């Protein structure tokens, strides 16, 4: 897919955040070439004036030098609430690396969300931050389904990057999101990732806006037997599926000896402890806060 690239100047790059994973959020880019079919961040189009299809544009941010970076000491800085900071163009433009370089030594506690293994380039830099954490979104081990849903790197490459960070002593999260009813094998992913992560987050698929019809059309074409289930959940707002899955996964966690909690970030556990499974079903705070943060970031952009 062709991507239109544009450099933009912003008044700032950090904004105060309501996200449960940080005091501040940072998005070094606007837009995301991963073009995930289920991406809630596509709402950003309304703030940026981009008429293009989501995934086909990327604004590269340039900002004034961060003044007094020490003011962020002990503060959580979440990188990538409405973009992937390690999208393929980061290799060329290096805006995420520039941000990390500016914050290095400040005492900021960074969390990075990605679907890429390009983050390995900055492993040594990320290791210098206290309590640094990197999360990878993985909602399938089926590469063909992954390819249907996004243009990011393979699941295998994401898992390899996660292991490299975990082995290097950096906190890692396997973010099983979004869980597609009847398609995402959550237990299989947990089994694959549990030896190389500190947290396993679970988040259900939420469908709204323009991408609801895209996903339902996909289900009808590729998984027609699941269409009645999807209509129950996403047309009739029936939550029984998620309640049953919650009970099933809670029992599975007990069976394999892992803690299972709800809406708890669990950052205080020893880094060498087994992972905690965190159920964020129905937890809309992440998306609502990301929308607010995204609007702030878009509003701070100038020409």
The pLDDT of residue 268: 76
**Could you give the maximum distance between any two Cα atoms of the chain, in Å?**
57
The pLDDT of residue 208: 81
Query: What does the angle CA 238 – CA 242 – CA 243 come to, to the nearest 5 degrees?
Result: 95
Dihedrals phi, psi of 10, to nearest 5 degrees: -120, 155
> What's the number of domains the chain is made of?
1
CATH number at residue 134: 3.20.20
Structural domain containing residue 136: 4-302
Angle between helices 155-167 and 186-193 (to 10 degrees): 40
pLDDT digit of tens for each residue in the chain (303 aa)?
789 999 999 999 999 988 777 899 999 999 999 999 998 766 665 666 777 888 899 999 999 999 999 999 999 999 998 899 999 999 999 999 999 999 999 999 999 999 999 999 999 999 999 999 999 999 999 999 999 999 999 999 999 999 999 999 999 999 999 999 999 999 999 999 999 999 999 999 999 878 899 999 999 999 999 999 999 999 999 999 999 999 999 999 999 999 999 877 667 788 899 999 999 875 454 445 444 544 444 544 443
C-beta of residue 178 within 8 angstroms of C-beta of residue 205 = yes
The pLDDT of residue 22: 83
The pLDDT of residue 282: 52
Beta bridge partners of 262: 279
Q: How far apart are CA 9 and CA 83, in angstroms?
A: 17
> Secondary structure of the chain: what % helix, strand, coil (to 5)?
40, 20, 40
The pLDDT of residue 303: 34
The pLDDT of residue 53: 85
The pLDDT of residue 54: 84
Please give the DSSP secondary-structure letter assigned to residue 56.
S
């Amino acid at each position: 897919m062709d991507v239109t690239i544009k450099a933009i100047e912003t008044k700032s790059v950090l904004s105060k955040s309501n996200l449960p994973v940080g005091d501040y959020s940072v998005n070094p880019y606007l837009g995301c070439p991963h073009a995930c079919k289920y991406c809630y961040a596509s709402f950003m189009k309304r703030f940026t004036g981009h008429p293009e299809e989501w995934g086909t544009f990327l604004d590269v941010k340039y900002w004034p030098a961060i003044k007094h970076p020490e003011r962020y000491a002990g503060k959580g800085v979440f990188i990538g609430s409405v973009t992937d900071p390690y999208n393929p163009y980061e290799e060329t433009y290096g805006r995420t690396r520039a941000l990390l370089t500016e914050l290095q030594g400040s005492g900021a506690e960074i969390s990075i969300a990605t679907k890429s293994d390009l983050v390995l380039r900055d492993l040594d830099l990320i290791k210098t931050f206290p309590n640094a954490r990197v999360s990878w979104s993985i909602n399938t081990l089926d590469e063909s389904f992954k390819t249907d849903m996004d243009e990011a790197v393979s699941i295998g490459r994401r898992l390899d990057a996660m292991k490299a960070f975990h082995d290097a002593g950096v906190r890692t999260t396997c973010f099983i999101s979004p869980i597609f009813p009847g398609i995402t094998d959550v237990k299989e992913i947990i089994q694959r990732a549990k030896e190389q992560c500190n947290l396993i987050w679970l988040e259900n698929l939420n469908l709204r806006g323009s991408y609801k019809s895209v996903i339902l059309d996909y289900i009808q074409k590729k998984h027609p037997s699941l269409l009645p289930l999807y209509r129950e959940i996403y047309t009739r707002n029936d939550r029984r599926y998620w309640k049953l899955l919650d009970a099933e996964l809670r029992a599975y966690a007990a069976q394999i000896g892992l803690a299972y909690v709800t809406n708890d970030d669990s950052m205080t556990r020893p880094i060498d402890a087994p992972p905690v499974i965190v159920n964020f079903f129905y937890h809309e705070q992440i998306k609502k806060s990301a929308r607010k943060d995204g609007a702030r970031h878009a509003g701070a952009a100038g020409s």
